[in-house]
Amino acid sequence: MKVLIVDDNVDITEMLAKYLTVKGFDCVIANDGLNGLNQIKKEKFSTIFLDMSMPDFGGRDVIAALEKENLLKDQRIVIFTASATDNDVIQELLAKDGIELWLKKPVQLKDLLRAVTET
Amino acid sequence: MKIGIKLMGTFFMFAIIVSLFSYYVITEIRTVDHIDEEIDVASHISQDALNFNVENYHTQLEIWEYAIDPNQKRLDAFLAHQNTLHLLLEDWQVSVYEEDYVHEMSGLYDGGRLDMEKIISDLELVEQDWIILLQEIGNLRIMIDKGTSYAELEQQRSAVLLALNNNEKLFDELNFNAEVDQFVFNQHELVNSYAELRILEISQFTNTMYFLSIAVILSSLLLGYLISKSITRRVNLLKESSNQLAKGEFSQVSISGSDELTDLAKSFNIMAEDILQSKITISENLSILEKQKLILNSTVSELKKSTQLREEFASMVTHELKTPLTPIRGYCEMLKDASFGSLTQDQIGYVEKIDSNASTLEQLIEDVLNVQRLEMGKMKFNKENFDVGEFLYKLKQNYIPIMNNTLIEFVVANMPKIQITSDEFRLGEVFNNLIRNSIDFVPLKNAIIEVGAKHENGKIIFHVKDNGSGIPKDKQKNIFKKFYQVDTTATRKHGGVGLGLVISKGIVNGLGGEMWFESEPGKETIFYFDIPVRNN
């Protein structure tokens, strides 16, 4: 089961990947939205973790790009949001086909594990 | 306790087996001794029973009865004990199982049995003779009692002797003593054999137990080794994971079993996850802080820009404001000098008025600029060494003309000879501000203004005192505020826009000191300010 982690914070992506690897998952890391988008187009992931507070090409841009090419509904995306994000914004994103869950930052490991295992 | 229980169980089992073995061996040895004793006793009795001396009969006829009786008793005892021996022998036969020993002991037993039967049949033969002997002796007794004749007694005595001889002959023929010796010897042999057999039994048992003990020791060691290996292996797994964790990596340990070590492993895993979680939270927070720092930096640079703009604006404005004053004052000067022709006294007076107002305006602009500079901390001070006493003296000299004009008594309380490192010019400005205020508030008559200085704790405390109308209590807290002026009912109008004290205080603070005052309305006002002696 392959997992993609997209977040601009290098330390966080490393730590999350290490954790999930120990728990038995194959992990791929992308530290910006564009790289993340390329990875999604390249192969199929069982779960994609997408950070919504990245600079430049961010989470919203990735989602928009996937929507445009009608690829969004085939994915299983879990979004990371900063604690200050509006609830309306979150609900709007969750309503889209392909976006499963949202986790509030800082990410809790047990929530992360649950998100990957509950397919 | 589960690990401990496993270990304890092993050693306990070993200890029990060793104890059982020791106990068994000890009890077995005692049993053998016991049987030996019994046989010994029995054989002694049989020995004694057969220990009669035929010679007794020859030597003392009178004590025949006494000689015979004990032996009779001994014989009875022997016959009784032969039964015991019988039973003992039968008992032994039951537990004999070793082939060779069986044969030897059976042989001895059968031999013993035959010996015994022979002895018994011999004794039965002997018994017949004995009875005859006793009868003859009895007859002799009776005859003695009856008082029979000597000849008949002699006859009877011969009969007794004959019976006795027969008895003796019979014993010799039977080889009785030898038979008994043989029998006793055989019994001893039997006992020894039995003892040897028991010893053999025990030694075999002992050997078995030795092998068993070795087996138990080895298996305990093996068990102990396996247990400790299991413990060591699992502890090493834990150590590995701990080392990884120490390096800063995430690791989980999986340990088999259901004892304290597995519990420890579970705790370790939870701890590792907690640590990772903390790291994630910290990293997240750092990110946020970084972003905030960026925002902060841009705000700060904006603020700096705005301050800079303000400064430029202020200096530009003041410069622009001052510019027209130059021609105004210039022309006033020239008019007063009669450069354009003479003027009337009144005209000169008017020109004076224009000039003095322009001067006031110039001062006000300067004040505003100074306040601006002080607020932004941009006022530059020229610090130099000067003498306090001299400074006060010069001050007084400056004010002599004004004081003469206004009939105010100017007092210098003291002129201490102390060196101070500070801005002499700006300090002069402070004094000027304070003295000008005092001038406006002192009474018309008997007005006194006093200045002085005092050295205390590395600072010079200057003061300006006047006996003027003072500052009302409710206005005192506002005295250092910008543009504040106490409403005055004094005869001298107080000019300016209320910046004098603000500037003075600003200068004093800028030079490293404090300004304060004491005022009693209607009586006096004293303004103090302290300046550090050294620049620190």
Q: Is A109 on the interface with B (CB under 8 A)?
A: yes
Q: Give the strand pairing for B384-387 and B419-422.
A: antiparallel
Cβ contact, residue pair A106, B280, below 8 Å: yes
Q: Span A2-117: which CATH code?
A: 3.40.50.2300
Confidence bin at B527 (pLDDT 50/70/90): very high
Q: What is the dihedral of CA B90, B95, B100, B106, to 10 degrees?
A: 10
The predicted model gives A14-25 an average pLDDT of: 93
Residue B424 has pLDDT above 90, yes or no: yes
How far away is chain A from the Cα of B282, in angstroms, using its nearest Cα? 8
Residue B157 has pLDDT above 60, yes or no: yes
Q: Is B278 on the interface with A (CB under 8 A)?
A: no
Cβ contact, residue pair B284, A12, below 8 Å: yes
Chain A from 30 to 49: CB within 8 A of any B CB: none
Q: In terms of Cα–Cα distance, which of B251, B531, B170, B497 is closest to B383?
A: B531
Residue A8 has pLDDT above 70, yes or no: yes
pLDDT tens figures, B370-389: 888 888 788 888 899 999 99
**Residue B58 has what pLDDT?**
36
In angstroms, rounded to a whole number, what is the distance separating the alpha carbons of residues B507 and B433?
11
**Residue B17 has what pLDDT?**
75
Q: What integer best gives the mean pLDDT of chain A? A: 91
pLDDT tens figures, B298-310: 999 999 898 888 8
Q: In terms of Cα–Cα distance, which of B412, B423, B425 is closest to B532?
A: B423
Residue B535 has pLDDT above 50, yes or no: yes
**Residue B136 has what pLDDT?**
82
**Residue B416 has what pLDDT?**
86
Residue B117 has pLDDT above 80, yes or no: no
The predicted model gives B468-490 an average pLDDT of: 76
Q: Which residues of B touch A110 (CB under 8 A)?
A: 273
**Which comes out higher in pLDDT, residue B494 or B129?**
B129
The predicted model gives A104-115 an average pLDDT of: 91
What is the full DSSP assignment across B410-458?
EEE------EEEE-HHHHHHHHHHHHHHHHHHS-SSS-EEEEEEEEETT
Q: Is A17 on the interface with B (CB under 8 A)?
A: no
- Is residue B194 within 8 A of residue B178, CB to CB? The reply is no
Q: For B3-37, b where at least 16 C-beta lie within 10 A, e where not — what string?
A: beebeeebeeebeebeeebeeeeeeeeeebeebee
User: Which token pair is B518?
Assistant: 């004491």
How far away is chain A from the Cα of B286, in angstroms, using its nearest Cα? 10
For chain B, percent of residues with pLDDT exceeding 70: 73
**Residue B112 has what pLDDT?**
63
Q: Which residues of B touch A49 (CB under 8 A)?
A: none
Q: What is the ipTM of this complex?
A: 0.88
How far away is chain B from the Cα of A108, in angstroms, using its nearest Cα? 6
Residue carrying the six token digits 């609900």: A91
**Residue B56 has what pLDDT?**
37
**Residue A51 has what pLDDT?**
93
Q: Is B251 on the interface with A (CB under 8 A)?
A: yes
**Residue B377 has what pLDDT?**
80
Cβ contact, residue pair B279, A109, below 8 Å: no
Q: Which residues of A touch B284 (CB under 8 A)?
A: 9, 12, 105-107
Cβ contact, residue pair B281, A15, below 8 Å: no
B277 closest CB neighbour out of A23, A82, A108: A108
For chain A, the residue count is 119
Q: Which residues of A touch B285 (CB under 8 A)?
A: 106
Cβ contact, residue pair B276, A15, below 8 Å: yes
Confidence bin at B47 (pLDDT 50/70/90): very low
Q: Is B292 on the interface with A (CB under 8 A)?
A: no
A106 closest CB neighbour out of B252, B273, B281: B281
Task: Say which residues have a Cβ less than 8 Å from residue B257's Cβ, sequence separation at least 6.
Answer: B230, B234
Q: Is B100 on the interface with A (CB under 8 A)?
A: no
Confidence bin at B52 (pLDDT 50/70/90): very low
A106 closest CB neighbour out of B251, B252, B284: B284
Confidence bin at B57 (pLDDT 50/70/90): very low
Going along chain A, which residue ranges are E strands? 2-6, 26-30, 47-51, 77-81, 99-104
Q: Which residues of A touch B281 (CB under 8 A)?
A: 106
**Residue B105 has what pLDDT?**
60
CB pairs under 8 A between A and B: 40
The predicted model gives A70-91 an average pLDDT of: 88
- Is residue B258 within 8 A of residue B2, CB to CB? The reply is yes
Q: Which residues of B touch A16 (CB under 8 A)?
A: 280
pLDDT tens figures, B263-288: 999 999 999 999 999 999 999 999 88
Predicted model pTM: 0.47
Q: In terms of Cα–Cα distance, which of A67, A66, A73 is closest to A36?
A: A66
**Residue B172 has what pLDDT?**
73
pLDDT tens figures, B208-259: 777 777 887 787 778 778 888 888 888 999 999 999 998 888 889 988 888 8
Mutate to test the interface with B, among A7, A109, A112 (most CBs of B within 10 A): A109
The predicted model gives A102-110 an average pLDDT of: 90
**Residue B26 has what pLDDT?**
63
Q: Where are the domains of chain B?
A: 2-220, 259-378, 380-532
Q: Is B276 on the interface with A (CB under 8 A)?
A: yes
Q: Is B185 on the interface with A (CB under 8 A)?
A: no
The predicted model gives B498-502 an average pLDDT of: 85
The predicted model gives B443-450 an average pLDDT of: 87
**Which comes out higher in pLDDT, residue B499 or B148?**
B499
Q: What integer best gives the mean pLDDT of chain B? A: 78
The predicted model gives B39-56 an average pLDDT of: 46
Confidence bin at A69 (pLDDT 50/70/90): very high
A22 closest CB neighbour out of B250, B277, B280: B250
Confidence bin at B108 (pLDDT 50/70/90): low
Residue B294 has pLDDT above 80, yes or no: yes
For chain B, percent of residues with pLDDT exceeding 90: 25
- Is residue A67 within 8 A of residue A89, CB to CB? The reply is no
| Among the four given CATH numbers 3.40.1260.10, 3.30.565.10, 3.30.2130.10, 3.40.50.10490, the one describing domain B380-532 | 3.30.565.10
The predicted model gives B343-366 an average pLDDT of: 89
**Which comes out higher in pLDDT, residue B240 or B75?**
B240
Mutate to test the interface with A, among B273, B280, B282 (most CBs of A within 10 A): B280
Mutate to test the interface with B, among A5, A7, A10, A11 (most CBs of B within 10 A): A11
Q: Which residues of B touch A105 (CB under 8 A)?
A: 284
B280 closest CB neighbour out of A22, A82, A107: A107
How far away is chain B from the Cα of A69, in angstroms, using its nearest Cα? 32
Class level of CATH domain B259-378: mainly alpha
